[in-house]
Structure formats: C-alpha cells, structure tokens
Amino acid sequence: MDLKKFYDSVGGSYEEIKNRLPTDKLIEKFVLMLPKDPCYNNLVDSMGKEDWKAAFTASHTLKGVSANLALKKLCASAGALTEDLRSGTPAPTTQENYQKVQNDYEAVIAALKAEGV
C-alpha cells in the first residue's frame, strides 16, 4: 500500500501520522482497522433515527479516530458535525455537515479499495 498516495488522496497528513507511528507497517495496520470500527455505522444509524445524543457520540468518536489517524479532512467534517450536535438538537447545518462526513468517509474507504485492501 502506498501510504503517501493514500493520505494525499483523502486529505490526510502522511507526515503527521509518520511522526505518530514509527513504521509504515504500523500505520497501515491502524488505517486498515477504520472500516471495521463501528463509529461510522453508529453515526449513520443514529442520524437515521434522529437520536441526536447517539449521533453526537458517534461523530465525536469518528472525529477522534480520524484525528489519531491524521485523516484531516474527515476529522474536520466529523468535528463540524460534532459541534452541530453538541447541544443535543440538530443545528441548521447538521444535514449539510453530515453529508460532508459521509462523502469524506466514503472517499477514505474508496481510496483503501483503490489500494487493493
């Protein structure tokens, strides 16, 4: 897997993750765990049910996971959605920010598939 290419294609920071994790093998190990992490599916489920508290928790978790993996674009969109939901009710920008999270997450998954994983 070409990690630099992957990070560039999804708006991430290969340099930042390289400072956090010492080897490409370790970076790849953790990046490949993302599709198995339940936080995105929890977000989709809770948004569909309009369970704003659960959606806040899921978006906050996704923000943290993506920050730890230096997936900056996904982290930013998940962060915006988290702030929209912080009060326990949706903000006027909630649906727009949710769509951005979906697009950014799907771009990460598509990039992983393009790398053959």
Q: What is the pLDDT of residues 19-40, one digit of tens each?
A: 999 999 999 999 999 999 999 9
Separation between Cα atoms, residue 69 and residue 25, nearest integer Å: 13
Q: How confident is the model at residue 70 (pLDDT cuts 50, 70, 90)?
A: very high
Q: Which among 94, 104, 97 has a CA at the least distance from the CA of 51?
A: 94
In which band, very low, low, confident or very high, does the pLDDT at 117 lie, cut at 50, 70 and 90? low
The residue to which tokens 């899921």 are assigned: 58
Distances, alpha carbon 100 to alpha carbons 19, 49, 75, 106, in Å: 27, 19, 11, 10
* Predicted pLDDT at 112: 95
Q: What is the mean pLDDT of residues 55-84?
A: 98
Q: Cα 64 to the chain's mean position, in Å?
A: 8
Global pTM value: 0.95
Which candidate, 72, 71, 75, places its Cα nearest to that of 31? 71
Q: Can you say whether the dihedral through the CA atoms of 79, 83, 86, 91 is positive or negative?
A: negative
Contact 9, 83 (CB under 8 A): no
Would you state the structure tokens that stand for residue 25, as one six-digit string? Answer: 């093998």
The widest CA-to-CA distance across the chain, in whole angstroms, is 42
pLDDT single digits (tens) 87-114:
999 999 999 999 999 999 999 999 999 9
When pLDDT is averaged across residues 43-49 and rounded to a whole number, the result is 98
**Integer Cα distance of 12 and 85 in angstroms:** 24
